[in-house]
Chain A
Amino acid sequence: DIQMTQSPSSLSASVGDRVTITCRASQSISSYLNWYQQKPGKAPKLLIYAASSLQSGVPSRFSGSGSGTDFTLTISSLQPEDFATYYCQQSYSTITFGQGTRLEIK
């Protein structure tokens, strides 16, 4: 299976900060990379699909980039509701998720 490694595992930031989360695949996955946000006690929510396509209804401060093995999720200006855990997921082959990045308030 393709291993997905996110960095950092946790991150402290302030409202208004620009934040970047990285996801690296153990082999090339083209652009078959999705990003999800999960808040405590809630189901994951799709943010970005196909590496850079913004899901309908998701604020434009979220963006994704990358292809091959290296991908990033960027939040341009953190809002209070963005503090959550973020997961990447590849669908190039048998689906696997990254281990998650917990974004906390500084």
Chain B
Amino acid sequence: EVQLVESGGGLVQPGRSLRLSCAASGFTFDDYAMHWVRQAPGKGLEWVSGISWNSGSIGYADSVKGRFTISRDNAKNSLYLQMNSLRAEDTALYYCAKGTLYGSGSYYDYWGQGTLVTVSS
């Protein structure tokens, strides 16, 4: 059974940092790209960042570029998101999602339960 378990969320002051983790199990982690998707309270889904199976390809949403860093450790079946210079608008539930490729596209067939990040003074 595929499982994605996020951790590391919490209450943080503006300008501070936080590191999210996602522990994966039930599939061959290093065969798949992984992504972070967030959802602000009462709002829709927003893609944050993605990383290819070998970390060779990485992308970020413009809203987090230069502040967030995605990484993975295939030996530990883990995905990370280092979030620096946090802003109030980064407040959201952060989901880890497994990306499956088809042609030149991809879809998210498994999601974690999310970890809540609240940025407030």
Contact = CB atoms under 8 A, between A and B. Distances in A.
Majority-rule SS of B interface residues: strand
B114 A43 contact: yes
Contacts of B105: 31-32, 50, 91-92
Contact of A100 (B35, B44, B108): B44
Contacts of B106: 91, 95
B18 to A, nearest CB: 20
Contacts of A46: 107-109
Interface residues of B, number: 22
A94 interface: yes
Contact of B103 (A1, A32, A94): A32
A98 B35 CA distance: 18
Interface stretch (B8-16, B45-53, B79-87): B45-53
A55 interface: yes
Contacts of B59: 94
A82 to B, nearest CB: 19
26 contacts: A1-B62, A31-B105, A32-B105, A34-B107, A36-B108, A43-B112, A43-B113, A44-B45, A44-B111, A46-B107, A46-B108, A46-B109, A49-B107, A50-B102, A50-B107, A87-B44, A89-B107, A91-B105, A92-B104, A94-B59, A95-B50, A97-B44, A97-B45, A97-B46, A98-B44, A99-B44
